[in-house]
């Protein structure tokens, strides 16, 4: 069988993948266990609470093949937006889960920073990868997670040693061609007292492209570390996007996690932050903007497992045409987690009579000395604001763009990376159409 053969997500494809990756025995064992579990699992049931608002009956796995084992080629023009005008400390680029380039500055390498393809580093630095891989991510969460664990390819790994501060951002870029497949797994480990900024973006070459993403992000922070992590998702509008994204942050850590989701035909993403050490502090900023018939479902959880921790989740969504967003949030507080301070909010701006926003905040509190608040709003564009702007010479589209930008401004103000604020603002402005 040639290396250019398109393999399916089946046993033959799995064995062909194992022949290709040349990974250590312990990682192959993890893959085999995940494949066995995936083979026995059913697809999520529509009546399950987690899936009741997301219909995957039209999804067919057999329409997609595994990434081409022959390898991918670098593209002449990058669709990434977060790198413009930014001096990077390193970058990894994948196309259809094939690593096409990776680099790290000599200065950071000399400090012991490890940054590169996950499979490669699992061989060269098993002592760094093995203790952390699949410790935040759960391969048994559902069939999508198990398939990802079995078939992941082209993943990325970052290790920041104790006390090391990375001042220049690191960039992770995943590109998917029309009809392609991306199964990348991102694992970030920030040791005690270390600090880093990671810019992670996922793009299709054509906004109308199809494809399948089965992915995961794991962020592991040791005590006193600081991480800024940015995820920009702009897959093509015919692509499926299934992902598990989770951070585990320890004592006195700070995490600022910014998510922007504007791509895919259907997304179902679980994002969780586990606060496992006293004094851990997490801020999550979420932006969703949909159009056409897009369906984006993001389920978030702030899990307070230790006392005296703070979490702050703010998601803002705007919906055009016949699109729909689903946000389902949960603040979970364990009995030990006294002095918890948790906040979650989801605001929606519905730009079309046929668009829809589902917002389901929730609390599950088992401690008695806590402060937890949640809220949700859904509104339409104020016609008086449109009229006021048009009376002063703005077109309807210009007026709508200003209102939408103003709606997201609270999120932009929380983001501490200027280039990210500018890129997200520009991406949203491009998508705003005239409000009818």
In order, the DSSP letters of 35-59 are HHHHHHPPPPPTTSTTTTT---TT-
Q: What is the mean pLDDT of residues 357-371?
A: 96
Q: Residue 367: which pLDDT band, with cuts at 50, 70 and 90?
A: very high
Q: How far apart are CA 286 and CA 299, in angstroms?
A: 11
Q: Running DSSP on this structure, what letter comes out for residue 96?
A: T
Per-residue pLDDT tens for 46-97?
888 899 999 999 999 999 999 877 667 777 778 899 988 899 999 999 999 9
Looking at every residue in the chain, the average pLDDT score rounds to: 93
Identify which has the larger pLDDT, 146 or 429: 146
Per-residue pLDDT tens for 208-232?
999 999 999 999 999 999 999 999 9
Is the confidence at residue 393, as pLDDT, over 90?
no
- In this structure, what token pair is assigned to residue 356? 């829809």
Q: Closest Cα to residue 134, out of 34, 250, 272?
A: 34
Burial class, 236, CB count within 10 angstroms (exposed 0-12 / middle 13-18 / buried 19+)? buried
**pLDDT for the residue numbered 70:** 66
Q: How far apart are CA 234 and CA 436, in angstroms?
A: 25
Q: How far apart are CA 96 and CA 200, in angstroms?
A: 15
* Domain boundaries of the chain, sorted by first residue: 11-381
Q: How far apart are CA 129 and CA 186, in angstroms?
A: 11
- In this structure, what token pair is assigned to residue 3? 């290396």
Per-residue pLDDT tens for 114-150?
999 999 999 999 999 999 999 999 999 999 999 999 9
Q: Closest Cα to residue 29, out of 126, 141, 142, 154?
A: 126
Q: Residue 436: which pLDDT band, with cuts at 50, 70 and 90?
A: very low
Rounded to the nearest 5 degrees, what angle is found at the Cα of 177, between the Cα atoms of 174 and 182? 45
Is the confidence at residue 383, as pLDDT, over 50?
yes
Is the confidence at residue 322, as pLDDT, over 70?
yes
SS3 412: helix
Q: How far apart are CA 367 and CA 332, in angstroms?
A: 10
Q: How far apart are CA 174 and CA 183, in angstroms?
A: 10
**pLDDT for the residue numbered 3:** 44
pTM above 0.75, yes or no: yes
Q: What is the mean pLDDT of residues 364-389?
A: 90
Q: Residue 2: which pLDDT band, with cuts at 50, 70 and 90?
A: very low
In order, the DSSP letters of 249-269 are E-TT-EEEEEEEE---SEEEE
CA-to-CA separations, 356 to 171, 225, 237, 262, in angstroms, rounded: 34, 39, 17, 15
Q: What is the mean pLDDT of residues 327-340?
A: 98
Is the confidence at residue 159, as pLDDT, over 80?
yes
Residues 6+ apart with CB under 8 A from 221: 190, 227, 247, 248, 249, 250, 253, 255
* CA torsion, ordered 301, 305, 311, 317, to nearest 10 deg: 0
**pLDDT for the residue numbered 385:** 81
């Amino acid at each position: 069988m040639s290396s250019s053969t398109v393999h399916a997500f089946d046993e033959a494809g799995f064995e062909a993948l194992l022949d290709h990756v040349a990974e250590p025995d312990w990682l192959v064992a993890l893959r085999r266990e995940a494949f066995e579990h995936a083979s026995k699992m059913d697809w999520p049931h529509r009546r399950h609470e987690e899936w009741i608002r997301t219909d995957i009956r039209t999804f067919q796995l057999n329409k997609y093949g595994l990434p081409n084992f022959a390898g991918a080629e670098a593209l002449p023009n990058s669709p990434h937006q977060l790198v413009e005008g930014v001096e990077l400390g390193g970058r990894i680029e994948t196309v259809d889960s094939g690593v096409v380039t990776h680099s790290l500055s000599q200065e950071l390498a000399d400090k012991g920073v490890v940054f590169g393809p996950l499979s490669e580093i699992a061989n060269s630095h098993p002592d760094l990868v093995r203790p952390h891989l699949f410790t935040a991510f759960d391969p048994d969460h559902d069939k999508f997670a198990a398939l990802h664990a079995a078939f992941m390819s082209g993943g990325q790994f970052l290790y920041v040693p104790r006390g090391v501060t990375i001042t220049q951002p690191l960039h992770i870029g995943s590109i998917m061609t029309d009809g392609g497949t991306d199964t990348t797994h991102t694992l970030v480990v920030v040791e005690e007292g270390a600090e880093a900024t990671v810019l992670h973006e996922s793009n299709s070459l054509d906004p109308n492209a199809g494809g399948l993403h089965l992915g995961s992000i794991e962020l592991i922070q040791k005590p006193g570390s600081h991480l800024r992590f940015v995820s920009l998702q702009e897959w093509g509008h015919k692509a499926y996007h299934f992902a598990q994204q989770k951070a585990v942050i320890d004592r006195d850590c700070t995490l600022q996690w910014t998510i922007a989701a504007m791509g895919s035909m259907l997304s179902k993403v679980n994002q969780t932050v586990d606060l496992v050490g006293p004094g851990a502090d997490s801020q999550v900023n979420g932006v969703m903007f949909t159009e056409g018939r897009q369906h984006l479902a993001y389920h978030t959880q702030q899990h307070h497992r230790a006392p005296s921790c703070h979490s702050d989740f703010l998601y803002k969504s705007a919906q055009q045409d016949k699109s729909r967003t689903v946000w389902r949030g949960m603040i979970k507080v364990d009995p030990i987690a006294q002095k918890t301070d948790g906040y979650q909010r989801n605001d929606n701006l519905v730009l079309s009579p046929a668009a829809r926003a589902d917002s389901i905040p929730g609390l599950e509190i088992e401690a008695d000395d806590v402060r937890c608040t949640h809220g949700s709003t859904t509104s339409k564009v104020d016609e008086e604001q449109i009229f006021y702007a048009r009376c002063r010479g703005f077109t309807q589209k210009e007026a709508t763009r200003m209102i939408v930008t103003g709606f997201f401004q609270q999120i932009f103000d929380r983001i501490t990376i200027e280039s990210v604020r500018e890129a997200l603002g520009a991406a949203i402005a491009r998508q705003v159409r005239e409000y009818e």
